[in-house]
Amino acid sequence: MRSYLSLVPISAKVHRRQNRMTLLCIIFAVFMVTAVFSMAEMGMRMEQARLMEKHGNLSFLDLIGSAMGQSLLGIAVVLFLLILLAGVLMISSSINSSVAQRTKFFGMMRCIGMSRQQIIRFVRLEALNWCKAAIPIGLAGGVVITWGLCAVLRFLVGKEFSTIPLFGVSLFGIICGIFVGIITVLIAASSPAKRASKVSPVTAVSGNAEDKKTIHHSASGRFVRIETALGIHHAVSSKKNLILMTGSFALSIILFLSFSVMIRFVNYLMPQSAAASDLDISSGNSSKAISADLIEKIQAMPGVKVVYGRRSDFDVSAVWQGKTSYSDSLDLISYDDFDLKCLKTDGVLKSGSDLSKVYGDSRYVLATSDQDSPWKIGDHIQIGEESLEIAGLLKYDPFSSNGLTEGKMTLITSSETFVRLTGTTEYSLVMIQLTSDATDENVRAIQLAVGDEYSFHDQREQRTAGTYAAFVFCVYSFLAIIALVTVLNIINSLSMSVSARIKQYGAMRAVGMDERQLIKMIAVEAFTYAFWGCAAGVIVGLPLNKWLYEILITEHFPYALWHLPLTSLIVILLMVFFAAASAVYGPAKRIRSMAVTAAINEL
């Protein structure tokens, strides 16, 4: 041994099991930052290649200055800060517990002459020692996952991603990964290091000395059972620990609520309708409408999955609820059964709508709407001699550019109702969905069958399903990693908390606490953290969710209104419950196999 610091790797070897989770936290932080920045650089390189092809000369700096470069960098920086914060919270709570557990060790070190400064140096070096193993693993993981994601984008999504580099290594991503690893650990270790340096040498020789500083209030067992009271007290007695645990739970919830807005945003940006067509045939500029025979003809052609059409009649005179002042004309559009069914599949109908009434020759219709439209389900509309009832409302107006009705009602009827009302049997728009194995020859054959009298649009290139899937995959992967890190952190912290109190638990067992009561006590501790984490996460996360929704979605899609994200909240509650329950599992197993005498005699 050259100096007292040579103890660091020896101690790391002895405490390998306890340090495993802390290592995982560092690995995840480094991995995520490397992956995020590497992906951002790969995206930029792809954009650079595309622009070079288009404009000729373009430097990397020009690209960073471009709008796309700025937005990619912006997203990466925000993610970097969030990961840094998550990493600091999680690693800090790990180191904190590890220091609390070794109070006697630090007391003994002080006893035999280690100065406060040396203790601080010891704890910091111990934390940095973890980086030695964690950073290379995190970097390797980050680079490999970047390759994997690039391959998925290039080969599975294709199209705009077909030029993304396959085995690119981002130096920028690697530097950021190393930086985040070291900085996170140094920030996280600073407070526990100071705490360790304050341990009094007397702690090494006295029995209950370490409890003096932390416990100021007794656990109240007046209203709840003693094991519940003690569990709550264990969770809330150390403010710092409570803040760290609550913070890491809350941060995950905040990230979850923020990222769920991103998914909603993409839903609005690239709506994935079940009725999205691959080929469109419209009457175009010619006044000639499309005959129903053409639909039957195309339906029988190879490569065709489904053909459906829409008829339209604009500015039809109508009276709504006896009032003509609000809107004296409306648009009438017919949907085939497949199209109507897709409205329900896509979830564009407001609650209370009854689509089943609209099918076939009926007196029921659907109407477009927005937050300002006064008509509602059950209202009657008079068209000529016919009185129609609104059986359902669409959440927005799919026929306007901004989704708002601007006071103009559009009625959607079934094909049969439309023919009865207008007498028109011919279509203004025919849409075709192709089978997955449809070839270009199949498409050319359809185009030939349509002829030149109608406009033919090949929409296959416009479909965004691949990009949408890639984006949603990335967001969910990020969320899954965040959730995983939270779960691991809670498991780790609770396990350390149990280790720190194992002697106390042994004494409790000796004086008559049974296994069930002991496990309940630990479960209550875990669920107390989970409760406060949920409360803090929801209190901060919901306004953030609303704010992000308004600036990202409502600003661009005025018909989209923020609602309480109930599904996200339920998912969060389930995730938190799962995290807390899995955190209890390990300690419960340990307690079941705990020898009471060994626990009492443990130093």
The residues binding other proteins (CB under 8 A) are 207-208, 211-212, 215, 218-219, 221, 225-227, 230, 233-234, 237, 503-504, 507-515, 517, 595-597, 600
Nearer to other proteins among residue 19 and residue 97 (C-beta):
97
Q: Identify which of 25, 15, 30, 32 has the alpha carbon closest to the alpha carbon of residue 93.
A: 25
Nearer to other proteins among residue 83 and residue 232 (C-beta):
232
Amino acid present at 593: S
- Both tokens of residue 339? 């199209």
Nearer to other proteins among residue 81 and residue 595 (C-beta):
595
Q: How far apart are CA 211 and CA 107, in angstroms?
A: 14
Pairing of strands 410-414, 329-335: parallel
Pairing of strands 429-434, 279-282: antiparallel
Q: Identify which of 572, 562, 514, 500 has the alpha carbon closest to the alpha carbon of residue 538.
A: 572
How many angstroms separate the Cα of 9 from the Cα of each of 97, 210, 375?
19, 26, 74
Q: How far apart are CA 323 and CA 368, in angstroms?
A: 18
Nearer to other proteins among residue 171 and residue 510 (C-beta):
510
Q: What is the dihedral of CA 45, 48, 53, 57, to 10 degrees?
A: -130
Nearer to other proteins among residue 219 and residue 263 (C-beta):
219
Q: How far apart are CA 386 and CA 366, in angstroms?
A: 15
Beta carbons within 10 angstroms of residue 41's beta carbon: 23
| Straight-line distance from the first to the last Cα atom of the chain, in angstroms, rounded to the nearest whole number | 25
Nearer to other proteins among residue 228 and residue 417 (C-beta):
228
Please state the closest distance from residue 506 (CB atom) to other proteins, in A. Answer: 8
Nearer to other proteins among residue 248 and residue 499 (C-beta):
499
Which position has the token pair 């910091």? Answer: 124
Please state the closest distance from residue 219 (CB atom) to other proteins, in A. Answer: 4
Please state the closest distance from residue 592 (CB atom) to other proteins, in A. Answer: 9
Please state the closest distance from residue 590 (CB atom) to other proteins, in A. Answer: 15
Nearer to other proteins among residue 20 and residue 592 (C-beta):
592
Q: How far apart are CA 258 and CA 120, in angstroms?
A: 37
Please state the closest distance from residue 572 (CB atom) to other proteins, in A. Answer: 31
Nearer to other proteins among residue 522 and residue 569 (C-beta):
522
Please state the closest distance from residue 112 (CB atom) to other proteins, in A. Answer: 22
Beta carbons within 10 angstroms of residue 373's beta carbon: 21
Burial state string for 529-542 with b = 16 or more CB within 10 A and e = fewer than 16: bbbbbbebbbeebb
Q: How far apart are CA 412 and CA 340, in angstroms?
A: 9
Nearer to other proteins among residue 348 and residue 513 (C-beta):
513
Please state the closest distance from residue 513 (CB atom) to other proteins, in A. Answer: 5
Please state the closest distance from residue 200 (CB atom) to other proteins, in A. Answer: 13
Please state the closest distance from residue 499 (CB atom) to other proteins, in A. Answer: 16
Please state the closest distance from residue 231 (CB atom) to other proteins, in A. Answer: 10
Please state the closest distance from residue 223 (CB atom) to other proteins, in A. Answer: 13
Please state the closest distance from residue 514 (CB atom) to other proteins, in A. Answer: 4
Nearer to other proteins among residue 221 and residue 586 (C-beta):
221
Q: How far apart are CA 447 and CA 279, in angstroms?
A: 9
How many angstroms separate the Cα of 15 from the Cα of each of 101, 478, 518?
11, 30, 25
**DSSP letter string over 472-536?**
HHHHHHHHHHHHHHHHHHHHHHHHHHHHHTHHHHHHHHHTT--HHHHHHHHHHHHHHHHHHHHHH
Nearer to other proteins among residue 178 and residue 229 (C-beta):
229
Beta-carbon-side half-sphere exposure of residue 131 (alpha carbons within 13 Å): 19
SS3 90: helix
